[in-house]
Amino acid sequence: MAQLMASTNPAFMNGVPELLVLRLLRSREMYGYEIVQAIREETGEVVNLAEGVIYPLLHALERGGALTSRRTAVNGRSRIYYALSPRGVSRLDELTGLWSRLTQALHQVIKGEGYVPGV
């Protein structure tokens, strides 16, 4: 579709990796490689984010103060566990709210029922 529909930037994925990572870390501490697989499994293969997406994102979130990290050796291998900070929690709430409002708004348009003002 011309410039649209690229190989990179597939439709609707903007912000989704961040939301998923934050949401997964809300339940428990996890490490990068584990997060990659958890996203694939918990979305039923619908979302499949490579390590090249997740690792830079984890670093950016940590730099931004949303995550803290802890390095440990498990079975002779090094793992870096990430945990949500209070700031990460509020960012998650923010993104969840945005996502919720957007999906509701789009649902209304897609379903073809006009906007119902008021409430």
Which positions touch a copy of itself (CB under 8 A)? 1-4, 9-16, 18-20, 23-24, 26-27, 39, 41-44, 46-47, 60-61, 63-66, 89-91, 93, 95-99, 101-106, 108-110, 112-115, 117-118
For the CB of residue 78, give the shortest distance to a copy of itself in the complex, in Å: 24
- By CB under 7 A, what part of segment 78-117 binds DNA? 78-80
Residue with token string 């990068």: 32
Q: How many of the chain's residues bind DNA (CB under 7 A)?
A: 37
C-alpha angle with apex 86: 84 to 87, nearest 5 degrees?
Answer: 90
The separation between CA 84 and the C-alpha centre of its own chain, rounded to angstroms, equals 13
Give the count of beta carbons closer than 10 Å to the beta carbon of residue 80. 15
Q: How far is CA 84 from CA 22, 46, 53, 90, 107, in A?
A: 7, 24, 19, 10, 31
Nearer to DNA, 26 or 40 (CB): 40
Widest Cα–Cα separation across the chain? 60
Residues 29-68 that bind DNA (CB under 7 A): 31-34, 49-53, 55-60
Binding test (CB under 7 A) with DNA, winner from 10, 86, 114, 118: 10
Q: Which residues bind DNA (CB under 7 A)?
A: 3-11, 13-18, 31-34, 49-53, 55-60, 74-80
